[in-house]
A = this chain, B = another copy of it.
Amino acid sequence: MEATGPSPNETREILKAHPGTWAEVDRLAETLDTTLACARTCAVCADACLAEEAVAELRKCIRTNLDCAAVCQATAEILTRQTAPDWSLLSAQLQACGEACHTCATECERHAKHMEHCRLCMETCRSCASTCQRMREAIKH
């Protein structure tokens, strides 16, 4: 069986079907997909850490993973809405998301050599932090 999953085209396509779609819909689609992917990766990493023999040393990593997943999820939820946005709120949430991703990447980096899930999560979080930062700059008025 082939895992097909969501395609970035799908995200862009439905965002474009909004009657008042944004000018920068490609950036929006990218940021939405990236935050959703980061939420998923952090949640999987938390569970993988929980299953590790060294779970007692991974408490901070699990907690940080779960926090990052929650913050990315809330950010993604805001990004699904193009109707009557509040730029100041979006910016503050993107700032918190960047902070969460940075914290999580830093913690995962400590285990990245020994645990592939932490290495993957570190990379995803770094990429998400950059994407959030670019989005913040794009909406600065």
Residues of B within 8 Å of A20, CB to CB, are 51
Q: How many residues of A contact B (CB 8 A)?
A: 76
Copy tally for this chain in the complex stands at 4
| A93 CB, nearest partner CB in chain B, Å | 5
**B33 in contact with A6 (CB, 8 Å):** yes
- Cβ contacts under 8 Å, A7 to chain B: 5
Which of A11, A41, A51, A56 is packed against the most chain B CB atoms within 10 Å? A51
The answer to whether B41 and A14 touch across the interface, beta carbons within 8 angstroms, is yes
A88 interface residue per 8 A CB criterion: yes
By a CB distance below 8 angstroms, the chain B residues around A17 are 48, 115-117, 120
Whether B10 contacts A37 by the Cβ 8 Å rule is yes
